[in-house]
Amino acid sequence: MSQQFSEYIKIIGKGQKGSRSLTREEAYHAMKMVLADKVTGEQRGAFLMLLRTREETPEEVIGFIDACRELLAPDLSTLTPQIDIGCYAGKRRQLPWYLLAVALLARKGYTVMLHGAHEPGSGRLYASKALPLLGLPPATDIPHAKSQLAQVGVTYLDLSHLLSPLNKLIKLREFFGLRSCANTLARLLNPTLAKCCVQGVYHMHLDHKHCRVNEAFPEFDALCFRGDGGDPEVNSERDTELFITRSGQTQEIILPAQTQKWALKDTAMDVNDMLKFWRGEIQHAYGQQAVIATLASYLVLLEDISVERGIALALELWNQREATQFPFSG
């Protein structure tokens, strides 16, 4: 048992009147010990679930991110994507249509780093399962990812290749029955420090917390919004608040709803439907608005343009796509 770590547990767990949140420095040291496996399983579980009960403060998350980035593989610096997109929620009501928006970004000439994880028994469709059917197998290591970026413009790396200790924390949901702050940290990681970073969240107010964290890292621009199922996909059946942070300052932009029709749950979740839609063989009302609105939001971040211009450009890119090819093809 680590006596030093016990002090961090006391700080956050000493009751409503006796406890307080961790400082950035304390959070950094605590998470560094967790990731280095220098705590017992009981200490780790108590720490993560106490944080889950009252939710992490932005300052704590910033300290945790400091610890995570310090442990990233050095050769990640050889990857230089222009935009980083975390894919951690997994889809359960609709297919991951945002992946087609990513494909269109690559065809416009942007390089895109996708990363994610999967949780055992979640029953969700993760990007890593859909991408091979769209023409992009997940990268097996960092050199493979570098090759994909050069040839296709997009790569997907599992969190196990980026930061294995953080991936292990995400997998603890199988034992806790609850997610921990690890899911938030993975979304905020931006492991290659790409100039632009996209974060989809699910719960209300998490977008505001992400903004406060993003403001602490002015070296890159960030887009955060409440995405479908928590993934980086705009569901424009409703207005979407896009929070864009540049140089430590956050601006809120409203992406208006594009449709008044609410889609029913997709019970089949067949990725082949995405291919058929890409090829123009079928129509898909939800897929259409999701691809265009999501791509528009990415373009607003990347090109610093208005929402109206982003939507127009997204439609133009969609109409000009090579429908006979796989979405991802070198």
CB environment 143-158: b (16+ within 10 A), e (fewer): eebbebbeebbbbbbb
What pLDDT shows up at residue 119? 80
Give the mean pLDDT of 39-60: 93
pLDDT tens, residue by residue, 212-231 = 999 999 999 999 999 999 99
pLDDT tens, residue by residue, 131-140 = 999 999 999 9
Give the mean pLDDT of 11-25: 89
Confidence of residue 19 (pLDDT cuts 50, 70, 90): confident
Q: Average pLDDT over the chain, rounded to whole?
A: 94
Tell me if the pTM is above 0.85: yes
- Asked if 231 and 93 touch (Cβ cutoff 8 Å), the reply is no
What pLDDT shows up at residue 96? 98
Give the mean pLDDT of 268-295: 96
| 75: its two tokens | 């050769």
pLDDT at 121 over 80: no
CA angle at 323 for the pair 321 and 328, rounded to the nearest 5°: 80
Confidence of residue 93 (pLDDT cuts 50, 70, 90): very high
What pLDDT shows up at residue 262? 77
pLDDT at 82 over 90: yes
Confidence of residue 1 (pLDDT cuts 50, 70, 90): low
Residues 6+ apart with CB under 8 A from 159: 115, 116, 117, 166, 167, 170, 186
Can you tell me whether residue 216 is helix, strand or coil? coil
How far is C-alpha 10 from the chain's CA centre? 31
Give the mean pLDDT of 23-32: 97
Give the mean pLDDT of 87-98: 95
Confidence of residue 114 (pLDDT cuts 50, 70, 90): very high
Task: Please name the helix (run of DSSP H) or strand (run of DSSP E) that holds residue 85, with its range, or none.
Answer: strand 83-87
Confidence of residue 57 (pLDDT cuts 50, 70, 90): very high
CB atoms under 10 Å from CB of 51, counted, come to 22
| 156: its two tokens | 């997907």
What pLDDT shows up at residue 316? 98
DSSP-assigned letters across all residues of 168-205:
HHHHTHHHHSS--HHHHHHHH--TT--SEEEEEE-STT
* Tokens 């621009």 found at: 221
What pLDDT shows up at residue 131? 98
Give the mean pLDDT of 100-123: 93
pLDDT tens, residue by residue, 235-280 = 988 999 999 999 999 999 999 998 777 778 888 999 999 999 999 9
Alpha-helix runs per DSSP H in the chain: 3-13, 15-18, 24-35, 41-54, 58-70, 98-107, 127-130, 142-151, 159-162, 164-171, 173-176, 181-188, 206-214, 272-278, 285-303, 307-319
